[in-house]
Structure 1
């Protein structure tokens, strides 16, 4: 994988993405502006067909695979949910079988969504990394095609949300973006650089999933255990080496927030906008609010997904800590 995509490549990806979904909206919500003490723009990727931004990357990857490797009949990947839904839908549209590995205790509603979209689900391991390692074993044992969680084509696809966002909003001083395996924030960096903007990009992750922040600080991949109870979408135990290099080159810094702050951001999204955000989907707002005043007068964030189990969300709204 060489570097990040340029503007023309992202524009071509957008043409492909828009065959399946429209551009998602971005709004500035007065109540959030009041809380943040700034003009805040929210990119609503929770409005995508699978409820999260990941679909964009899956569509681009599967289109390439269908054309470049027509002999591939089965793909396998690992996920906590949104990547898996993306691969399931995109594979089905390309006539390819998808086997998705999830860890034990994964979101029941995300699991059902992946199965309904056509994926064959395999449950293995205590966390995402264990599921990923099992998926790699299945690839080797069966001769299937492995779809990683981070790849240049995935980043190219999801960069289309950043192109919509940064092309539409007034120039932002800072944008706060969740960091999971890194495709979403890499897409934001690619578009910022391609458009020649001065916008600072701040990554946001969990204090209980600090591997990306530790890797960013160290300049190399650092593995660390994950224990977040709510932000499963950023539950990365071992970051991708290429992604870390992209972070180091393009990010201003990384902020870590705790689970209580993430749950409060979920409540704020619902109270102030009546949008549902999963933990990782709200973590960017949590970082923005933690950083109140430091990002400038006009800032942005991405509500990356709204796929949270009903019982979990009910508990968050009621102020009960998720177990």
Structure 2
């Protein structure tokens, strides 16, 4: 997925009208722990607590310009994409309906409602919620916002452009990127091309939701069951073919991390940086810890992609 320089710069203007760049820090304790220079990109510091907000901003800016008659949008999510849709829809005066599976994060649900969305619970996983959203869009004539789309990727790429530009004098040797449906990974690849760096990109998936790792190994989209209890932002059963194509072309590797490894990374992020990360937000660090011998003495980037974890769950992780 390629973007022109003007497309990236336009996305930067759209995103910066709503939020400042997020920071990237080389935390001393993290670097000491991994035996490498470790830069953390803090997408948990956005107004919606996750990287997804960037894609919503560019998607709705384009939607309002190209389809001014749209008054209501609908989408499915486990949380962060829904907040992105709600945040951006409200900026453009549009209504938004979000479908989530039963048992979704109560605090993510509350955050979406606070943004003015109509929340509907349906199905046992994201795929069921997504199919219901599609049916409602057809029935009620609503604009359906997909979970993976070129405009979403264009917005999210601004996060990684910020990261690579901030480290332009010493680009990281590797960047670990969590994969849910793949917009974040595709965005990192687009930013790498835009900035002209040679950083290796390693995708990270849950060991309990391996569709994208399995697809990477098979060279084509492969479905896989989802059993993760902690990494809801990575709970993908059915991969997006276009996203898989990007991953096959751009990834140096795709690795898996268990819920236990993610929980350890959540604790480490809190102890070493005093940052709260949700499961998917800690997955990149979990992978870097898993591979620390490979990258010892190098410069490592990890994306803390979100911090929207229910307080009860986080308390349980910290207490373990």
The two structures have a TM-score, normalised by structure 1, of 0.97
Q: Secondary structure at the match of 1:237?
A: coil
Match for 1:87 among 85, 88, 91?
A: 85
Matching residue of 2:222: 222
Quick check: 1:175–1:199 contact (8 Å CA) kept in 2?
yes
In structure 1, distance between residues paired with 2:207 and 2:26:
28
**Runs in 1 of length 4+ with deviation above 4 angstroms?**
none
Instruction: Kindly indicate whether residue 121 of structure 2 is the aligned counterpart of residue 123 of structure 1.
Output: yes
Q: CA deviation at 1:221?
A: 1.1
Confirm or deny: 8 A CA contact 1:185 1:203 kept in the other structure. Answer: yes
Residues 170-223 of structure 1, C-alpha deviations (whole Å, 9 max, x = no match): 211000010011111111001112222110000001110000111111121111
Report 1:234-253 matches (<5 A): 234-253=234-253
1:266 and 2:259 correspond? no
Output aligned runs, 1:123-272, within 5 Å: 123-169=121-167, 170-272=170-272
**Superposition CA RMSD, Å:** 0.8
On the 8 A contact 2:90/2:115 being kept in 1, the answer is yes
Tell me the CA shift for residue 161 of structure 1. Answer: 0.3
- Whether the 8 Å contact between 2:161 and 2:194 is mirrored in structure 1 is no
Displacement of 1:108:
0.2
- Distance in 1, Cα, partners of 2:34 & 2:53: 30
- In the other structure, the counterpart of 1:68 is 66
Aligned length: 317
5+ residue gaps, structure 1:
none
CA distance in 2, matches of 1:275, 1:92: 28
* C-alpha contact 1:61 1:153 (8 A) present in aligned 2: yes
